[in-house]
Amino acid sequence: MELSLHIFRNKNFLLYFIIVWVSSLGDSIFIIALTWLLVEMTGSPLIVGSYLFAVGITKMIFVLFGGVIVDRVDARKLLVLSNIIRALMMFIFLMFIMFGLPPLWLFYVVGVLFGAVDSIAEPAGISCRKRIVKEEHYTQSMSLLMVASNSSYIIGPMIGATLIAFGGMWLAILVNGLSFVLVVILFMFISFRVTDEEEIVSKSFIKSLLEGFKYFVKTPVIVAMSTQAFITNASVGAAMISIPFLIKKYELGVESYGLIHTFLGIGSAIGALLFIVFTIKRPKPYMVLITVFIQGALIMLIGFSHQLIFLAIMFLFIGVQESAINVLAPSVNQTIIPNKMFGRVIGIMILIMGSSTPISQALSGWLMESLKPEIMFVGAGILQMSGAIATYLVPAVRNFGK
């Protein structure tokens, strides 16, 4: 680790930091409102799980194409367009809410559209981050962005829960829509660096995609870490969908649901703060795996208690580990993947890493029709710890950088 404050003089990054904070605040309020409304309207884990599956599977279907598009079109333009579309969807959703409870089909329509937009916005966002900081500041920039997003998650859930309890869902949707509008405005003032590795793409769409696949399969450490992330996301996805039903089972209320998300955000902010002033110039895969294993153990422990204070503390520490994972893992990827095919390879990685989330959420929703949410936490934790151990045994991972 080395002390470095240079990144704080990067105006483009600081502006991007504000964008992440604003966007995360709106999203955290919206997620709390939407999930709780579905639980209250239907009381069905299967419906909640199928909704999250619809969002995730749509994103997975289009993410490969999104990665290729990012390598061919200006990433900033893609992000601006994606946020305009998101804002419009929120305002349309708001119109339905103003006339009463929205129909169930509307949740799925909005979810599918969000998934499609995210399939382009996520690789575009990752590509943009790489173009505003130098390689030695990857971990530091990721930790700062984690602070931005997680500070929003600290106050966002409590604001969302309060709005639902005293105002209604319409206000949460309005705030989220306005946050997308503000993000569009802020993007107009950022300049992104063009690297020496970037080139004008003249190859066909399919040939470009196959080139990304070829690089992916010939890089064992990326294949192994992507597989590990597939397992980890399946575990976390099962745990997250189980939270509201655990809260509802013990009649702790929506305020407690918001409190747990707040503690998760606090933990993530604490973890990110550890990487802000001190930077890791050469992050290694084993660092990611240690944090993944610890997080899995914490998820498993949740299944053995229903006390609110215990749950809050566990999610606090889970947040710390989540922050470390989300700082270290992308930093490792950014040091390996060349800029000229970054969007394509990241698109493939997102497809693999993220495809387990909608599957696990849908499966978890189905399983909780007959199983207790506590069992889901125990099983998810064991799965995640096993995945971390198995990945470390892969030679390309264990010997990386030696």
Write the pLDDT tens digit of every residue in 30-64. 777 777 778 777 777 778 777 777 777 787 777 76
- Contact between residue 127 and residue 75 where contact means Cβ atoms under 8 Å apart: yes
Mean pLDDT for all residues in the chain? 80
Q: Is the pLDDT of residue 201 over 60?
A: no
Q: Is the pLDDT of residue 174 over 90?
A: no
Q: Which CATH architecture has domain 2-189+202-398?
A: Up-down Bundle (1.20)
CA distances from 324 to 146, 182, 219, 237, 320 (A): 9, 29, 23, 18, 7
Q: What percent of the chain has pLDDT over 70?
A: 91
Output the six-digit token pair for 163: 């709005």
State how far the Cα of 359 lies from the Cα of 375, in Å rounded to an integer: 18
Name the one residue in this structure whose structure tokens are 């199983």: 371
Output the six-digit token pair for 241: 């969908």
Amino acid at 290: I
Residue 2's SS3 state is strand
Written as one string, the DSSP assignment of 126-162 is: HHHHHTTS-GGGHHHHHHHHHHHHHHHHHHHHHHHHH
Rounded (10°) CA dihedral 258, 259, 265, 271: -160
